[in-house]
Chain A
């Protein structure tokens, strides 16, 4: 397990955005610049391209202990290869179809079995705690994976604030849904709004990240703006996007993919190389940008931190 102490640099300090936004163009640009003498011209065009890709707001972050020391995925891949079914089921759909998605103003209602239910504006969420940059592995159930410098803080921060009652055993999440903004969702075979859930102890785990940004900036629409969950030891669909409601409750909440096909997508959905998806093996995965597969790690490599949450449980049954 590679959770390393911070190296002293955050991602946004190490790589200028103009480089990672358009890595391929950048590299090609270098080649051409070497061959011909149009360096300045080429660089100017690359820079203008990069600023038109995404107008994110820069976020100030502090270092976090919850970070892995692995090669970060290209920003272009992470923003153009998305599962955000509200905006269409093709990987390239969200980047195209989420452009007009308005995320201002935004409120998240935290309610249910809590002492002080309340609505948080996005502005409040941004300032509840210092924003941390955490580099996490992210593993999709479809066997691809990425490494992303997310920005946010532990979900426990906000949950403690509303004071869960003893009756609260689970946390239910709900995504924003508006058919007028998300017409493509009709053909994707899921019921909306998208819902997800965690057991309260999972939700209180410090690794469970309430996320408002990535790559040094606020979240792009297609990656779940303006606020989402990132649960690095579970398959990607557990990390619900564009959250509008968080509800604490006594019973296990329904979850979208489980409702769609319960024998394929369990409530827990922990990354587990030993429990196959009925239609494909989960033993290996492919990092975006790579050709060959490599081994998938138990709990996506976060076993030291989270395995105790599931002590004594049959992980095949509770997949």
Chain B
């Protein structure tokens, strides 16, 4: 069973499947736009949908590494870039629903809003931070930057996810269940990494005390 799963995950079909699934929310939104079925406040509906899916895809992206290690399925790494790029795709749509209907494509007005309102500031900052990550997501950029530097740069997704949750939390009026739920997921994923790092840092120290070679 497991070898079959791993073979599937390593194949072309798995990528096509994940891609299709990740596109589904967009298709669902597009279908509702086509049908004019966007609730009484279409702009708000689009803003909330694209915002929700951005946070979800950031969480999916951050879940890859823990699942890869916990389930011992190294093949999962093949989907991380795609999920991250989908997060960027949905955040771009999210940004457009703000720039267009809310700001009438007026960049000066938008900038004033970004500076003045903390929940817009953090949302906008997260969007800006994601741009270099999307641009440097190719194999060519990994080579050019070098693995270490590339990885350091891409760790800023942790900051993006936190800013995204704060952005959501500051938006809602009083029912904080959803932002708290997303916040808890992000916290779990980040704490797992921190703990994992601590354990790793200790591990080599132990290794040094044992003889490297049997003599």
Q: How far is the CA of A309 from the CA of B36 in the complex (A)?
A: 43
Q: How far is the CA of A280 from the CA of B102 in the complex (A)?
A: 12
Chain B residue numbers with a CB within 8 Å of A289 are 40
CB contacts under 8 Å to A, within B112-136, are 113, 116-120
Contact B39 A81, beta carbon cutoff 8 Å: yes
CB contacts under 8 Å to B, within A266-289, are 276, 279-281, 286, 288-289
Contact B104 A80, beta carbon cutoff 8 Å: no
Q: How far is the CA of A187 from the CA of B175 in the complex (A)?
A: 6
Q: How far is the CA of A135 from the CA of B116 in the complex (A)?
A: 35
Judged by a CB distance under 8 angstroms, whether B191 is at the interface is: no
Chain A: interface secondary structure? loop
Chain B residue numbers with a CB within 8 Å of A74 are 40
**In the complex, number of A-B residue pairs with CB atoms less than 8 Å apart:** 60
Task: Pick from B104, B171, B176: contact of A293, CB below 8 A.
Answer: B104
Contact A91 B117, beta carbon cutoff 8 Å: no
Judged by a CB distance under 8 angstroms, whether B147 is at the interface is: no
Contact A280 B39, beta carbon cutoff 8 Å: no
Contact B176 A279, beta carbon cutoff 8 Å: no
Contact A89 B174, beta carbon cutoff 8 Å: yes
Contact B41 A144, beta carbon cutoff 8 Å: yes
Contact A91 B41, beta carbon cutoff 8 Å: yes
Number of interface residues of A (CB under 8 A): 29
Judged by a CB distance under 8 angstroms, whether B177 is at the interface is: yes
B164 to chain A, nearest CB (A): 16
Contact B42 A189, beta carbon cutoff 8 Å: no
Task: Pick from A78, A80, A188, A281: contact of B117, CB below 8 A.
Answer: A281
Q: How far is the CA of A261 from the CA of B42 in the complex (A)?
A: 28
A286's nearest neighbour on chain B, judged by CB, is: B43
Chain B residue numbers with a CB within 8 Å of A188 are 174-175
Q: How far is the CA of A190 from the CA of B176 in the complex (A)?
A: 11
CB contacts under 8 Å to A, within B84-112, are 101-102, 104
Q: How far is the CA of A89 from the CA of B179 in the complex (A)?
A: 14
A89 to chain B, nearest CB (A): 4
Given contacts A89-B175, A142-B173, contact A281 B41 (CB under 8 A): no
A12 to chain B, nearest CB (A): 21
19 extra A-B contacts, CB within 8 A, seeds A91-B39, A288-B41: A24-B36, A77-B40, A81-B41, A85-B175, A89-B175, A142-B173, A144-B41, A188-B175, A189-B173, A189-B174, A189-B175, A190-B174, A261-B174, A279-B170, A281-B116, A286-B44, A289-B40, A292-B101, A293-B102
Q: Which residues in A have some Cβ–Cβ distance to B below 8 Å?
A: 24, 74, 76-78, 80-81, 85, 89, 91-92, 142, 144, 187-190, 260-261, 276, 279-281, 286, 288-289, 291-293
Q: List 8 A-B contacts (CB under 8 A).
A: A81-B40, A81-B41, A85-B175, A187-B175, A279-B118, A279-B171, A286-B44, A291-B43
Q: Closest 5 interchain pairs by CB?
A: A189-B174, A81-B40, A77-B40, A89-B175, A288-B40
